[in-house]
Amino acid sequence: MLFWFQGGNVIKGESKWVKIVLLILLCIYITLCGTYFVFHGNEGIRGSFENFDNDDVKYLRSAWTLLENGRFTYKDPNADTVFIMPGITVVLAAFVAVFGKYPILQFKIFQALLGAACLYMIFLSGKKLFSTGAALIATGLMAFYAPSIYITGTLLTEVCFYFLFLLTFYHTINALQTKRMKYYIIGGIFLGFSVLFRPPVVLALPMAVLFVWIIKKYKFMEMLKFGSAVVGVVIVILSPWIIRNAVLFKEFIPLTKSSGNPAFQGTFINYDRSVEQSENIDYYDIIKRQIDIDVDKYGSDEIVDNAVESQMTRIRFDRVIKKQPIKYLHWYTVGKTIMNFKNPFLWVVLFNISVEKLNKQHFLLLISGIVGLILLFITGKKNRDGVKLFPAFCVLFFNISYLPFYCFPRYMFPIIFCFALYGAYFLNKTVFWCVRSMKKGVIRLFGTTC
């Protein structure tokens, strides 16, 4: 698996020591994941299998229902859903089919192996963008980054999406560097499968690519040719899902109908809903009087829930947000960006390491990435090549894609590796400059014959 799509050719050219260091990093990571499974058990699963009160347990129940009667469900096991994309349910269903109703340990082991594959893809991407040294450093940074270990013990979309997105990311770099159609098509395939786990990527990654195209001065016809190919591939991959939704719900639903709730929650600054009392807005009465929605079904019908909450968002925008535009502009830009990145995505106290220390690790990774990006800008025009800015554009547009909604660190984990890439570039350059300075100092001290 680790040598798919020319990845093996890239590493064949490396020295024995690079391969050994990379292998050691992967082995350490898998060992840490295994230790986490033993030490923490099922702490990474937050929901109850009695009450089905969290995403993780609902995903597994969805897999059971899919195998039992062929229906894709989520909140209500008796009702078809478009609340989530089907990717994680299908993967879990495969594990249930092979290992039984609760394949939790097997799935966690699978995710640990996928996590190692993600590290390998980070190495390949770092080598493509910068150098072997930077690639190894980035791999090490992410191998020891606490959330990279934590996510393998969950039953969430993170690991599968992370892996597919890294495959998309790597082949997109190839496509941008070579302008070869085959890499755009391969990238489009992985983008399509990524969307089956996380819909926002369908806009975020193409926007990042568009900005690189502009910097690299792609011709309009080149953009049209490559863009059309990728769009076509993604549509083909999503077509069974789109057709299923059209047949069951009698409307065109390309992704999901679930944006209402996170959009409404996102209208509250710092998610403080205590202000609802002072605002005194009777959302249900307004919706009943103005809009043709059966509000009485709210809470029991996913489609109605989404429609009602979308209208609640609109009403609050008209009655509250418009009256305080500067305050809410700050919240929807700076405030939510801080919410996305202020903490690592961790819902357990990993290995009993204090939360403060893990927060510092996260903060240092972000800072090193920002410093690396700044360094890229000030060390010469060739380093401002559009492809090297691709990770930064990915971070920018991933963040932007979530700003209209409820924002928190879980959504940003899959692009934290971009900070690691820039941080590794900074650290690698720092080591290089230090070594070069030391050599110059030795030569000045002892002469050139030393």
Pairwise CA distance, residues 387 & 434, whole Å: 27
- Does this model's pTM top 0.85? My answer is yes
pLDDT at position 8 is: 58
**What phi and psi values does residue 80 have, to the nearest 5 degrees?**
-60, 150
pLDDT tens profile 23-77:
999 999 999 999 999 999 999 999 999 999 999 999 999 999 999 999 999 999 9
pLDDT at position 5 is: 44
pLDDT at position 127 is: 96
The answer to whether the Cα torsion of 214, 217, 221, 224 is positive or negative is negative
Cβ 208 vs Cβ 250: under 8 Å: no
pLDDT tens profile 115-125:
999 999 999 99
DSSP 173-188: HHHHHH--HHHHHHHH
pLDDT at position 285 is: 87
**What phi and psi values does residue 191 have, to the nearest 5 degrees?**
-65, -45
- Among the residue ranges 132-136, 287-291, 411-415, the one predicted with the least confidence is 287-291
The answer to whether the Cα torsion of 90, 175, 390, 150 is positive or negative is positive
pLDDT at position 4 is: 44
Q: In 3-state terms, the chain is what percent helix, strand and coil (to 5)?
A: 75, 0, 25
Q: What is the mean pLDDT of the chain?
A: 92
- Among the residue ranges 27-36, 75-84, 434-443, the one predicted with the least confidence is 434-443
pLDDT at position 110 is: 98
Q: Is the pLDDT of residue 447 over 60?
A: no
pLDDT at position 443 is: 57
At residue 354, the 3 state secondary structure works out as coil
Q: Is the pLDDT of residue 435 over 80?
A: no
pLDDT at position 130 is: 94
pLDDT tens profile 164-189:
999 999 999 999 999 999 999 999 99
**What phi and psi values does residue 76 have, to the nearest 5 degrees?**
-115, 115
pLDDT tens profile 368-403:
999 999 999 888 666 667 899 999 999 999 999 999
Question: Which secondary-structure segment (H or E) carries 387?
Answer: none
Summarize the confidence of residues 267-291 as an average pLDDT: 90
pLDDT at position 126 is: 97
- In the chain, % of residues over pLDDT 90: 82
Pairwise CA distance, residues 244 & 250, whole Å: 10
pLDDT at position 295 is: 83
- If phi > 0 it is left, if psi is from -120 to 50 it is alpha, else beta; for residue 299 that is left
Crossing angle for the helix pair 302-319 and 283-290, to the nearest 10 degrees: 100
The answer to whether the Cα torsion of 236, 179, 206, 340 is positive or negative is positive
Over the range 114-134, which residues count as b (16 or more CB within 10 Å of their CB) and which as e?
Answer: bbbbbbbbbbbbbbbbbbbbb
Per-residue pLDDT band for 440 (boundaries 50, 70, 90) equals low
pLDDT tens profile 210-256:
999 999 999 999 999 999 999 999 999 999 999 999 999 999 999 99
At residue 80, the 3 state secondary structure works out as strand
Pairwise CA distance, residues 342 & 360, whole Å: 10
Pairwise CA distance, residues 26 & 367, whole Å: 25
Tokens 């926002």 belong to 200
pLDDT at position 446 is: 52
Cβ 195 vs Cβ 202: under 8 Å: yes
User: Residue 13's Cα: distance from chain center in Å?
Assistant: 30
Cβ 123 vs Cβ 135: under 8 Å: yes
Pairwise CA distance, residues 278 & 184, whole Å: 52
DSSP lists the bridge partners of residue 73 as 80
Q: Encoding tokens for residue 355? A: 């939360």
Cβ 151 vs Cβ 159: under 8 Å: yes
